């Protein structure tokens, strides 16, 4: 018995050992089937550019799930870049990976790429290499090892960035390049040396490099209008201190009063206006996709090196606003980040749903109220009809007829029927409306009878009736089905509305013409609102919101009052004094933008202040002087607003000492706007002046239209006359 039990136990142990052996073998086989990927970064974890590359690489590798075994190493060359550090890394990697077969290596940036060129064969033997983020790529270096190397060149586009910057800031006279002396910085300098000669012919170029951070910030803070900054890399200063990208741009952005541009997207939102930006994530994604193709069996040599980066124009909304850059001036297809989202855009679905519910409930409520009101009227009419019917029938000024429902014959008609139609009572009693031919359109009789049968009543049906004389009258017919002497009858009440309809048509036509005139005048007034003025005013207010809130509040109140008067102008003529107040609101807003560049004086005869003028007639002339006369002059200028008596007339004028116009420009000014005429000098004028001129001529006659006196460089004087009040 004991021997049997021992034998059974021995067999069980053997089975268990065999099972464990198979499990271990299966586990080992599964581990061996995984592909090993080594990611070697030049810099350290936490560096914005490196993190974005790593994120792009892993986003692609994760699509293979558990099929891959990924190892990530950081060389940390921003902090340590001497030969001893590189040798220590080589020894470490040789010890760590000598017994581990790597299927593909992804390296990011110059240091890892150069390290791999030097140590690959000694450490990683035949493992294929995919690079990304390499700035200064020389294809001849890897040509003999093309079966091992491929990748993505970081071809950032300095040229497109600077061309765009100069187009957005046409008054630029100097480009300041910030760059360090790191390996990346030296690679940047090689590319800058190739690119910058194009721009040195247009503006001066200076380099802030190999400086202590304090010295750099001091120089940046001294930059003025006309300077722009091209920020490359400043990760290590002259004293050897290391700065991550976020820290370096944060310090420079706080010190800078001038626009900054860059070539990498990790600077966006941190202080640069924007540019043609390169994305580390895109670099990493492309490199990882190449690595997967190699793991799937594709030959390295058949995968070409990507030499054109997928760069995009990207800009920061806050910086665009800060430097008054209009979005329509950006290159086509530009992406604008940090754009404020309105409540409607953020909650569009909810807003539309609530609006639909409110509209549906409102419609149901209105329909219910209409139905209730109709029922009340019907019940009241039925209740009182028997009491008042006889009196109404005899003395009503409207004609009333009673007809049998069964055959449509007249049972009775009142005196008003006889008087209006010309038929005697005995001519219609016992006959139908078809017999006497009262309907101009007989089909209407059948439609009304169907309505009686369906609803039991009709209300104010407009019809055409033919009188006995042949005269056609327009009438309104109402009626109800009533029981009279035990028989269902139609009681029909008809009112002659011929004169009323003619009067209504005349009134409607008169109102229509009046409305058209008012709408035309309002449109002409509202058309004077200049979108450039609105944009500039809002930009100025936003600026003062940060620097002088009280000034911003005052400007906002003036802007609101200005637009209230433009959008809802006076219908009648106003005193010149009131029109001058409106101009002062406008000038107050513009003074905040022009500052010391604008001087305004008034030359007003006190006796002319009560003279009444069309509303909003003077402000467009002032705006024309500022926008097209003073604004183009760098040093600004003066505007004079005046009003003098000339006999029975008052001459009102606006004079500036701006850029002026040629005689040819003046001659075509009321034919087409100057910007369409292709002339130099005072361009963009015309539309507002045409509007004002048309209004003056329409109100006072051709002799009161605008008069323009101007010469190039001598300003312009625009005047008109109105009758003295």
CATH of the domain at 188: 3.40.50.2300
Same structural domain for residues 66 and 121? yes
- pLDDT one-digit tens code per residue, 570-616: 567 899 999 999 899 888 888 888 888 899 999 999 999 999 999 88
Classified as helix, coil or strand, 573 is coil
The encoded tokens of residue 333 equal: 């297809």
Contact of 621 with 654, CB cutoff 8 Å: yes
Mean pLDDT per 10-residue segment, the chain (725 residues): 47 50 45 84 89 92 91 92 92 90 94 93 91 85 89 88 94 95 85 91 93 94 95 90 88 94 89 90 91 94 87 92 93 87 67 81 85 78 64 79 88 88 90 88 85 85 88 88 85 86 77 59 51 56 62 65 58 87 88 86 93 91 91 91 94 95 86 49 64 88 93 94 86
Domain that holds residue 612: 569-723
Residues sharing a CB contact under 8 Å with residue 97, sequence separation 6 or more, in sequence order: 38, 123, 124
Calpha distance 463→475 (Å, rounded): 5
Of 195, 196, 218, 221, nearest in space to 206 by CA: 196
Classified as helix, coil or strand, 214 is helix
pTM of the predicted structure, to 2 decimals: 0.41
Looking at residue 266, what is its pLDDT? 85
Of 130, 166, 161, nearest in space to 145 by CA: 130
Same structural domain for residues 607 and 713? yes
Calpha distance 602→580 (Å, rounded): 10
Same structural domain for residues 145 and 184? no
Looking at residue 341, what is its pLDDT? 66
Looking at residue 370, what is its pLDDT? 86
User: Is residue 406, in this structure, part of any structural domain at all?
Assistant: yes
The residue from 260, 288, 309 where one domain ends is 309
Calpha distance 533→624 (Å, rounded): 11
- pLDDT one-digit tens code per residue, 33-66: 789 999 999 999 988 889 989 999 999 999 988 8
| DSSP character at residue 135 | S
Beta-bridge mates of residue 306: 152
Contact of 57 with 288, CB cutoff 8 Å: yes
User: Is residue 714, in this structure, part of any structural domain at all?
Assistant: yes
Same structural domain for residues 210 and 289? no
The encoded tokens of residue 199 equal: 């721009």
User: Is residue 574, in this structure, part of any structural domain at all?
Assistant: yes
3-class secondary structure per residue, 574-621: EEHHHHHHHHHHHHHHHHHHHHHHEEEEEEECHHHCCCEECCCCCHHH
Domain with residue 408: its CATH number is: 3.30.450.20
Please give the C-alpha separations between residue 314 and each of 318, 320, 335, 430, 538, in angstroms, as whole numbers: 13, 11, 5, 89, 24
Calpha distance 675→391 (Å, rounded): 78
Same structural domain for residues 575 and 715? yes
b (16+ CB within 10 A) / e for 313-352: bbbbbebbbbeebeeeebeeeeeeeeeeeeeeeeeeeeee
Cα atoms in the Cβ-side hemisphere of radius 13 Å centred on 453? 11
Strands 399-404 and 487-496: antiparallel
Same structural domain for residues 133 and 176? no
Work out how many domains the chain is built from and give that number: 5
Length of the chain: 725
Helical H segments across 323-442, by residue range: 343-346, 348-395, 415-421, 425-428, 433-436
User: Is residue 545, in this structure, part of any structural domain at all?
Assistant: no
User: Is residue 456, in this structure, part of any structural domain at all?
Assistant: yes
The residue from 286, 309, 332 where one domain ends is 309
């Amino acid at each position: 018995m004991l021997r049997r039990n021992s034998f059974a136990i021995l067999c069980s142990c053997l089975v268990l050992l065999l099972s464990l052996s198979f499990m271990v073998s299966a586990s080992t086989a599964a581990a061996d089937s995984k592909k090993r990927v080594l990611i070697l970064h030049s810099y350290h974890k936490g560096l914005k550019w490196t993190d974005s590359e790593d994120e792009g690489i892993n986003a692609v590798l994760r699509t293979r799930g558990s099929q891959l075994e990924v190892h990530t190493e950081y060389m940390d060359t921003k902090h340590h870049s001497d030969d001893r550090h590189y040798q220590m890394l080589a020894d470490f990697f040789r010890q760590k990976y000598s017994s581990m077969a790597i299927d593909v290596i992804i390296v990011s940036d110059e240091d890892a790429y150069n390290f791999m060129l030097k140590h690959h064969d000694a450490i990683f033997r035949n493992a294929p290499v995919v690079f990304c983020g390499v700035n200064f790529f020389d294809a001849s270096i890897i040509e003999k090892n093309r079966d091992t190397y491929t990748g993505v060149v970081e071809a950032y586009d300095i040229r497109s960035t600077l061309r765009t910057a100069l187009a957005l800031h046409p008054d630029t006279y100097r480009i300041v390049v910030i760059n360090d002396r790191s390996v990346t910085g030296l690679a940047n300098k090689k590319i800058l040396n190739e690119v910058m000669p194009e721009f040195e012919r247009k503006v001066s170029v200076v380099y802030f490099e190999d400086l202590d951070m304090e010295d750099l910030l001091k120089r940046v803070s001294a930059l003025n209008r006309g300077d722009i900054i091209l920020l490359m890399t400043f990760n290590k200063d002259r004293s050897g201190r290391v700065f991550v990208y976020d820290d370096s741009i944060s310090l420079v952005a706080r010190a800078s009063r001038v626009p900054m541009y860059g070539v990498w997207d990790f600077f966006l939102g941190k202080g640069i206006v924007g540019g043609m930006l390169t994305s580390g994530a895109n670099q990493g994604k492309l490199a990882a996709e190449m690595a997967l193709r190699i793991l799937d069996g594709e030959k390295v040599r058949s995968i070409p090196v990507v030499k054109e980066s997928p760069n995009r124009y990207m800009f920061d909304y806050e910086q665009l606003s800060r430097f008054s850059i209009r979005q329509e001036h950006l290159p086509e297809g530009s992406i604008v980040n940090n754009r404020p989202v309105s409540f409607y855009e953020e909650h569009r679905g909810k807003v539309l749903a609530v609006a639909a519910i409110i509209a549906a409930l409102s419609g149901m409520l209105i329909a219910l109220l209409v139905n209730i009101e109709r029922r009340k009227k019907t019940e009241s009419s039925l209740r009182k009809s028997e009491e008042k019917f006889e009196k109404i029938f005899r003395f009503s000024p409207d004609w009333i007829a009673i007809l049998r429902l069964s055959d449509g014959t007249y049972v009775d008609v009142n005196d008003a029927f006889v008087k209006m139609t010309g038929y005697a009572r005995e001519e219609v009693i016992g006959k139908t409306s078809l017999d006497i031919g009262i309907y101009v359109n007989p089909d209407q009789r059948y439609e009304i009878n169907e309505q009686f049968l369906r609803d039991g009543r009709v209300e104010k049906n407009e019809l055409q009736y033919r009188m006995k004389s042949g005269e056609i009258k327009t009438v309104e017919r109402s009626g109800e089905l009533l029981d009279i002497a035990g028989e269902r009858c139609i009681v029909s009440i008809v009112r002659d509305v011929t004169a009323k309809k003619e009067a209504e048509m005349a009134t409607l036509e008169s109102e229509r013409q009046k409305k058209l005139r008012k709408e035309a005048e309002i449109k002409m007034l509202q058309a004077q609102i200049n979108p450039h003025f609105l944009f500039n005013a809002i930009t100025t207010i936003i600026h003062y919101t940060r620097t002088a809130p009280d000034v911003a509040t005052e400007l906002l109140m003036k802007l609101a009052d200005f637009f209230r008067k433009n959008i809802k102008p006076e219908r009648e003529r106003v005193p010149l004094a009131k029109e001058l107040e409106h101009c002062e609101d406008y000038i107050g807003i513009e003074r905040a933008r022009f500052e010391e560049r604008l001087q305004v004086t008034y030359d007003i005869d006190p006796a002319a202040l009560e003279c009444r003028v069309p509303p909003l007639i003077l402000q467009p002339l002032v705006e024309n002087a500022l926008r097209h006369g003073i604004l183009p002059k760098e040093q600004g200028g003066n505007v004079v607003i005046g009003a003098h008596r000339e006999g029975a007339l008052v001459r009102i004028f606006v004079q500036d000492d701006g850029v002026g116009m040629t005689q040819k420009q003046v001659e075509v000014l009321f034919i087409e706007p100057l910007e369409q005429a292709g002339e130099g000098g005072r361009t963009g004028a015309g539309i507002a002046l045409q509007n004002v001129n048309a209004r003056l001529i329409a109100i006072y006659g051709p002799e009161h239209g605008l008069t323009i006196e101007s010469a190039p460089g001598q300003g312009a004087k625009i005047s008109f006359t109105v009758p003295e009040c």
